[in-house]
Every structure is written in C-alpha cells, then in structure tokens.
Structure 1
Amino acid sequence: MHTANTVKEACGLSTFSQARVNVWEVYADKALRGEVLTKDEAFHILGAPDEELLPLLQAAYRVRYHYYGNKVKLNMIINAKSGLCPEDCGYCSQSIVSKAPIEKYPLLDKETLIEGAREAVRRKAGTYCIVASGRGATDKEIEQVAEAVKAIKQEMPLKICCCLGIISEEQAQKLREAGVERYNHNLNTSASHYSHITTTHTYEDRVRTVQHVKQAGISPCSGCIIGMGETWDDVYHLALSLRELDADSIPVNFLHAIPGTPLENMDELNPRYCLKVLALFRFINPSKEIRISGGREVNLRSLQALGLYPANAIFVGDYLTTEGQTARADHQMIEDLGFEIELMHYSLNMSSNST
C-alpha cells in the first residue's frame, strides 16, 4: 500500500503543498504535448490528497475539452447472449465459476437485436453495443450478428460495436463487411496481474484479439476493470498498454462485486479514487474516448457527474447482468453539468421517451 509519504518521496516533494504549484496543469501540458507521464507522476495522481481532487479534475478537463469540448458520447449495451460461459473470470457473473442467479440464454434472434438498436436511438445513444458471453463466438454466431448488423445499418445511422470474445482475423473481417465499426475486447488488468483474475485464457490472447480487430480495419475498443486487487503499478502499466495498443475507445469499469462471484467480497474503491483513476487515464490517453462503464453508479455514487470532467462517454441504461441509472437520469446529469449529448443525425421519427 502506498502512503502519503511514499508518494511525496516518489515525486521529490517535501510536502504536498509544494505540489500545488499547479503540478496538475503541468501534467495536462505534458498530455497535450503527447508526452507520457512517468510512473512517479502517475502515483502522484493516484495518491493525490482529496483536497487536491478538484484542481486535478480541472487539469484533466482541460485535456478532455481540447479534444472533445463539452460533448458526451452515449453507448447502450444489449446482452445478446447471457451466461453459459466456460471461462473462469473471477469478476463475471456469467462465468462457469459464478453462482450468481442470472438469466441464461443463447444468442438473441435478429429481430430482438434490431429492436435493441431502436431502443438505443430512443435513449439518444450514438453507439449500440452487441455483447455476447463466452470464450469466443462460433462462425454461425458471427453470421447471425452480421445479418442483424446489416439490417440495423439499413434502418439507423448508429455506430455498431460488437463484443463477442476472442475472434480470428477472418471473423473480424466478416463483421467489418457487415458494417461493424468498433469491436470491444478489454485487457481488464495488467499482464502481471492477469492470472489472479482469469486462468482459462491469457492476457496475450486478449492482445491478439485486439490486433486482429485492427488488422480487419475495425476501430479497437479496449479497457479495464479497476478494483480487483491490482496495485498502482498495475493501473499505470495497464493505461500504458492501452496507449501502446492505440485503442480508440477505453471503457473504464469499476468492479461491481456481484454476490456469487469469486470477487464478491472485494471492496477497495471509493468515489474519489475512481475519479483519480479517470484523470490518470485521460492524461495517458489524452485524445481517446474515455468511457465510464460498469460499476459507475455503485462506485462513483453521488460523484458520478464529476467523472465527466476527465471522461467523455458513458453507458446509458443497464449493463450486462446489473441495472444502471435510468436514461432520463443520465440525460439530466449531462444537462445539469452544462454538457451536451453528442447526437447522431437520426432520420427516424422515434419517441424520445427514455426509461
């Protein structure tokens, strides 16, 4: 565990008051110049005293504003295939080792996936995420998703993201030809910590899938889950790995410890630390879409709105097996900040009512 003293020593500061010579703005300047923060600087952010939180967020916001202004991107997930997964990921309610009482079903039919896209439009989401549990999709499932995507693209101008597990370059190519613009496959944690959360596949398997996606011409989406027993060193190297992968979109999840999963008793996060993590990811990946993802409501709680100062995107509605804040509440949060939802130019005459 890093103490305040070790952070001060690492940063060469005799007192934190010396860090108030706008060191956060120095980090913002480095990010805007394309320079990478050092490990000591990253630890300074993660260990920042709570009274420095607002100046830190202001500096992260300056970087965010440079690339995205006050626009907020909305994404919506559909749990296209639930449970039935042979992997042993300790954080996941759908894994083979989970005893969580979740609904289990095979891949949803084409019309259900299309209707989910219509709901994404109603919720003002610009990206619709088709997510399926499992180690990886079969060729038949890839074909089913591809057919649904073709139909969605004919009807709606949504950006389509798929998250179907480990895939080959050939499967990625088929999705791209169907109209899939983005593919999500999270690294989840650092290479050195990976075996502590999953043993049925490797960190390298995940990196390889992201590379297949890029080779097929699909925009890579890859992120993390914070709060699984990782160290600050793990967090820093994970942020660097995502920079090196050149992931266009980085979902930052905060562990929602679900009863019945191996990590059900993990409880090491607080809202202020979560905000510091988001700031760090903005500084290290300044031009990328940083999306506050799973666990936002249970970990950021009353400080959710502050997360949009470093981050520029959120999921709207429910997650895979857990409920999210209502779309109406998310829209209100964005409006109250004075921010603006980045809307697609929908040609549909659809209800704007949100659930």
Structure 2
Amino acid sequence: MTTASDAILSTTAATQAAPTAAAASTGHAILDTAREQVLRRGKGLSEAQILEVLRLPDEAISAALQLAHEVRIEHCGEDVEVEGIVSIKTGGCPEDCHFCSQSGLFDSPVRGVWLDIPELVKAAKETAATGATEFCIVAAVRGPDVKLMNQIKFAIDRINAEVEINIACSLGMLTQRQVDQLTEWGVHRYNHNLETARSYFPEVVTTHTYEERLDTCAMVKEAGMELCCGALIGMGESVEQRAELAAQLAALEPDEVPLNFLNPRPGTPLENQPIMDGKDALRAIAAFRLAMPRTVLRYAGGRELTLGDLGTRDGLLGGINAVIVGNYLTTLGRPATADLNLLVELNMPIRELQKTL
C-alpha cells in the first residue's frame, strides 16, 4: 500500500544513517532552532514553534523527520515499546464522541459485547508472545461502575498469575477511589486521551467536558501511575488547533502519547470526513516529537489508511518509539508480524519487560 507520503520517501534512506548532532543548516529557521533547543537542550517547542513545523513545505518534511529521529534517539534511546490492546466491553457507550463507533447514540454497526476473563487472559498471552511489554484493557464506558471494577480486578489477578506483562487500563473517567484501587492492584499505566485541542473539543464531544478529562489525568499522575494521554488528528481541526493540542499534551507531561489518525467509521458524525493527507500526518509526527522530546510517542489507530506501509516506515524513522501491534478496538491494524519484522529491518530493538517494571 502506498499513499501521498510516497513522494518524500527519501526520508527513509536519510534517517537510517546515524544521527549527526552537528548537521548543517536545513535552510528552515524553525528546524535550526529546534536542533539547538530540543536536541541539544531537551526543551520542547512552544505552541507557536509547533505551528511553524506543521506549516513546513513538503520539501522540508524529510529534514523535520530526520531531526525528530535524532531527538528520539538522544532523549528516549533506541528501544521501541510494543503494546497490544483488547476491549473487555465493546460498544454501547453513553458518550457522543463523534469519531467513535462504540457510542450507543449513533447508528453504528458496532454492538455491545463483553469479553469473558479466559478470553482476556488468552489475549494477554498472545500479546506477550509478540514481544510486547504492555497489555491494555479497554472498556467503552463513561467511567467504570462497581461491576466493571470487580471484573478488572479479577482480570488483573488472572493475567498476573499466567503471564509476565505490564497491565494498563483505559476505562474512561475515574473517581479518586477508582484511581486508588487501580494503583493498589498494580496497574502500570492508565490511558485517557485528550483527543483534540480544548478549543475544538466541543465540536466532537458534547456529553462531557475537556476539564473532566483533565481531572482524571491529574488524579492518575498524582497516584503514581504512568499517564498515557493521546491525540486523534484529522477530525477537521485546523492546523492551529493541531499545534494547540500538541502544546496542551506537552503541558500535561504524560509518559506516553498515542498518536491516532482518524479512520472515519460508518454511522458516526465523522463518517464522511476525508482521510488525512499522509504528508500532513508526517509533519504532525515530527512536530509532536519536537514538542515532547522525552515522551513515548506511540503509533496507534488509523496509520494504515493515512500513511500506508511506506509512510509507517517514515514515521518510525521520524520520532515514533512505540507501536500498538495487531488490531485495534473496532478496526483492523497491520498484522503484528509485519510491524515486528519492520522493527527488525530498521534495527530498532524492542524494549525488554524488565526495563519497564
């Protein structure tokens, strides 16, 4: 599969070379500034600077990705973190996130399904067998009730008894008591995405607020769990709002940022939204890395459509240092073997579990 990003595939050859901190000027002031500010001093770009990166001309994308790759190597190391995700409860969510086929408010083909605990344990084992160090349990809910929390506790105990893997959760908005429970049960990381910029959020979600999401993120960090807080771009937001989102994520200082690209789902309000241009997606990858030099930046949903196989390679050589392998919650991803083989081909070592415990 090829996409619009094919025109700049010289990126791949360029970024496979060893990073060179003393590289010559690119001819683009923002990249020269970022080399000094981000690469050498480890200080992420400001919102205005991020916007400059997102507005770079096509001929500068390769240089931006090269610099982002150097920043990733310098501040995060060579290792790539691999994760699998599975939904314990799919569909029937009461929220109206306009991009999500799991909302019970839309006429989507996705229907409510619960996964039983033996299936969850099996999925965790299969995930670990790929070399993944992280297994994320997801539920399509506004927030967990007592029944779901009990199921999560049982699932965590069963998984820990049968497979060595870090467990993450994504269960919507939490109370302080629920945060404390997950921490006590040994949940390694909690996912709660901002999705889009504060200024654009009311255009895609109306059943809860941006501040409610921020509240859960703050409680997770204060409890000592790692915070995974991601972005979904290509929903019709402006390039200025894309820069706003990157800056707002950077201000949260999350441990991980999953970077999703909209895959328009049938029956949702965004079903007719055009697929994001591959070159704009590559600009975003570079910009998000330069905004957050020390954060785990993870390839997540939609990259298969937006970037294709060749663009996926470019992103891995342009600042990405983590990958969700296999399928997503309601959409198909690349085969896990394809991503793992690509990591081997690019000489990107998969992070060992003991390094993350």
Which bin holds the TM-score, normalised by the shorter protein? Answer: 0.7 to 0.9
Alignment partner of 1:96 out of 104, 108, 122? 104
Structure ranking higher on relative contact order (CA contacts 8 Å, 6+ apart) = 2
In the other structure, the counterpart of 2:224 is 217
Deviations 1:179-221 (A, max 9, x none): 1010000000111111100100010110011112122221111
In the other structure, the counterpart of 1:282 is 289
- Whether the 8 Å CA contact 1:252–1:290 is kept in 2: the answer is yes
- Whether the 8 Å CA contact 1:110–1:148 is kept in 2: the answer is yes
- Whether the 8 Å CA contact 2:190–2:226 is kept in 1: the answer is yes
- Whether the 8 Å CA contact 1:88–1:198 is kept in 2: the answer is yes
Q: What TM-score, normalized by structure 2, do the two folds share?
A: 0.88
Letter in 2 for 1:179: G
- Whether the 8 Å CA contact 2:44–2:293 is kept in 1: the answer is no
Matches of 2:44 and 2:27 in 1, distance apart? 21
Percentage identity across paired residues of the two chains: 38
Q: Secondary structure at the match of 2:187?
A: coil
Matches of 1:241 and 1:179 in 2, distance apart? 28
Matches of 2:269 and 2:46 in 1, distance apart? 33
Matches of 2:95 and 2:303 in 1, distance apart? 24
In the other structure, the counterpart of 1:48 is 56
In the other structure, the counterpart of 1:250 is 257
Letter in 1 for 2:338: A
Q: Secondary structure at the match of 2:307?
A: helix
In the other structure, the counterpart of 2:180 is 173
Q: 1:140 to 1:232 in 2, by over 3 A?
A: same
In the other structure, the counterpart of 1:291 is 298
Alignment partner of 2:353 out of 325, 336, 344? 344
Question: Given the alignment of the two structures, is residue 156 of structure 1 paired with residue 163 of structure 2, yes or no?
Answer: yes
- Whether the 8 Å CA contact 1:28–1:283 is kept in 2: the answer is no
In the other structure, the counterpart of 2:247 is 240
Q: 1:221 to 1:63 in 2, by over 3 A?
A: same
4+ aligned runs moved over 6 Å, structure 1: none
In the other structure, the counterpart of 1:125 is 132
Alignment partner of 2:328 out of 315, 319, 324? 319
Matches of 1:206 and 1:23 in 2, distance apart? 32
- Whether the 8 Å CA contact 2:96–2:207 is kept in 1: the answer is yes
Matches of 2:174 and 2:51 in 1, distance apart? 35
Letter in 2 for 1:62: E
> How far apart are residue 339 of structure 1 and its match?
1.6
- Whether the 8 Å CA contact 1:90–1:261 is kept in 2: the answer is yes
Alignment partner of 2:141 out of 129, 134, 141? 134
- Whether the 8 Å CA contact 2:30–2:49 is kept in 1: the answer is no
Alignment partner of 1:330 out of 315, 322, 339? 339
- Whether the 8 Å CA contact 1:193–1:230 is kept in 2: the answer is yes
Q: What TM-score, normalized by structure 1, do the two folds share?
A: 0.88
In the other structure, the counterpart of 2:81 is 73
- Whether the 8 Å CA contact 2:281–2:307 is kept in 1: the answer is yes
In the other structure, the counterpart of 2:22 is none
Letter in 1 for 2:340: H
Q: 1:265 to 1:180 in 2, by over 3 A?
A: same
Equivalent pairs counted in the alignment come to: 328
- Whether the 8 Å CA contact 1:110–1:145 is kept in 2: the answer is no
Letter in 1 for 2:214: V
Q: 1:154 to 1:334 in 2, by over 3 A?
A: same
Matches of 2:88 and 2:36 in 1, distance apart? 42
- Whether the 8 Å CA contact 1:28–1:60 is kept in 2: the answer is no
Q: Secondary structure at the match of 1:20?
A: coil
Deviations 1:4-26 (A, max 9, x none): xxxxxxxxxxxxxx961574243
Matches of 1:78 and 1:327 in 2, distance apart? 14
